[in-house]
A and B are shown apart, each in its own frame.
Chain A
């Protein structure tokens, strides 16, 4: 497997800088929803899980491992986004609460 590691490292470093800058601006009020949102985002591991589970492997037990990983990731995606939205709905300004 030929991988261009240097360009991957570039992506990683630049994405980290963007991440640090964007997250720094997140309202402190929203740190709990932020964490459940990034929970859902880190479930991007679903991408790797789908490939493992979907490809033709020498042994189906590898597909099973991938399927368990998909289930765990999807669980995070679904519950992460739903609970983030549920929490964010509660943040109201004074006018709205009357």
Chain B
């Protein structure tokens, strides 16, 4: 097939990719989006295999690589949904690796074969490709390691960290510029690769678990942009279009996450959120009221409207199925139950929605923060399951709090509040949560899964005795 026809095939693929994302606007059409995406990818791969530059003897090797990729990829799609953030980070790493490797091959090929010469623009695009590709590779591996808790999740900081990071990136960018001006400085290329790999690691080290949703989104954008750069290097419009779609998706998600934490991009990258100093500041004893699961069950039984605020703790305890049983028990009594979803609850964008959907809770009862907050004063019970910072009223009231200004779910405005928590240890960010000390708050101590299970047992038992 000539390049002319291949480009037509690529055009079809590009259109299918756009539709794929467009259909994600509604859960009802979203699966059509996946089909469209698969079709787009198949068309793109078949079109590429028709490229006259590919020599026949290499098809068997390509087939082998496809098989290897499939054998690794299929089990990766079976991970439990609580592990989806790790899986996503890991696949960003693969994406970055692929882009980086193609860049390396292109660079050295430009010297060994004719027709591949590097111009200034092409060299610059190539540098961008390997820089983004390799920093996404190690950065995503680090993020996956932190999410899997192979690497300590707390932010690791040292003096002059930002200076080191910015310096490293600066040197790499200068290397890219020099190489784009004169490609004869070949020896700079491996240095750029090394700096990109190192920068990826150092970039993620100071980032803590609570900031992971933003970081994953950002790495998503980088993976897309490295595909765009590859498109410029290889003169391929489909790579540019698909990469741009991916890049804009990562960008929008990052912006949403930043807004939801009231923080700027640079602040997340260079701020090392949640250092322990906040925790040691307040040591005065304050008292909380605690309750048993039975008390909690009785309180909720009396309610007309209950809002459940899930957080990462629900994911850790794998409590989503117990929460669904609680949902069933309460709705059976005619109580309205809604879920209040904060954009950064969990470890990646939309994390809570997926877990609750897995537990069979209808998505129509999952309500976004901005939509539920006006209703909160009419809510009888707000039940906080494993959420912490996203319900901390200090974000509204305490100007000295590190999370001041972050939009929160107004659990404190409900008529009463029940919070399930393992202990009074301050959460990941080390910030005291005023909600727990409020007059109308009752703490139910214990593992989220066990506590919700006990509440359900009580409600179910009582139901039978009637």
Contact = CB atoms under 8 A, between A and B. Distances in A.
A3 B122 contact: yes
Nearest to B38: A81
A16 B248 contact: yes
Interface string B230-241: 111111111111
A94 B74 contact: no
Contacts of A92: 357, 360, 362-363
Contact of A1 (B77, B115, B341): B115
A71 to B, nearest CB: 4
A44 B353 contact: no
A26 B350 CA distance: 11
Given A31-B350, A50-B54, A11 B31 contact: no
Interface of B is mostly: helix
- Which of B228, B349, B353 has the most chain A CB atoms inside 10 A of its CB? B353
A66 B230 CA distance: 13
A19 B378 CA distance: 39
A22 B27 contact: no
A21 B310 CA distance: 30
B150 interface: no
B81 interface: yes
A35 B88 contact: yes
Contact of B91 (A1, A34, A80): A80
Given A5-B121, A62-B109, A84-B34, A43 B98 contact: yes
B55 A45 contact: no
Nearest to A98: B362
Interface residues of A, number: 84
A83 B354 CA distance: 11
B237 A45 contact: no
B27 A94 contact: no
B414 to A, nearest CB: 22
Nearest to A83: B77
A70 B286 CA distance: 58
B97 A72 contact: yes
A75 B243 contact: no
Interface in A37-77: 37-59, 62-63, 65-77
A51 B18 contact: no
- Which of A34, A45, A93, A96 has the most chain B CB atoms inside 10 A of its CB? A45
A93 B364 contact: yes
B351 to A, nearest CB: 6
Interface stretch (B64-72, B290-298, B400-408, B453-461): B64-72
Contacts of B69: 70-75, 77-78
A79 B74 contact: yes
Contacts of A52: 102, 105-106, 109
B354 A90 contact: yes
B30 A44 contact: no
A38 B80 CA distance: 20
Contacts of B232: 3, 5, 8, 12
Given A23-B253, A35-B88, A67-B62, 6 more contacts: A4-B235, A36-B87, A42-B227, A47-B236, A51-B48, A54-B53
27 contacts: A12-B228, A15-B14, A23-B245, A28-B256, A31-B253, A32-B88, A41-B246, A43-B98, A44-B44, A45-B98, A51-B48, A52-B105, A53-B58, A54-B55, A54-B62, A58-B109, A69-B99, A69-B101, A71-B72, A73-B95, A79-B91, A83-B76, A83-B87, A86-B77, A91-B30, A91-B353, A92-B360
8 nearest CB pairs, A to B = A74-B69, A31-B350, A19-B248, A54-B54, A78-B73, A82-B77, A31-B349, A15-B244
Interface of B: 14, 17-18, 20-22, 24-28, 30-31, 33-34, 37-38, 40-41, 44-45, 48-49, 51, 53-55, 58-59, 61-62, 64-66, 68-70, 72-74, 76-77, 79, 81, 84, 87-88, 91-92, 94-95, 97-99, 101-102, 104-106, 108-109, 112-113, 115-117, 119, 121-122, 216-217, 220, 223-224, 226-228, 230-253, 256, 341, 343, 348-351, 353-354, 357-358, 360-366, 368
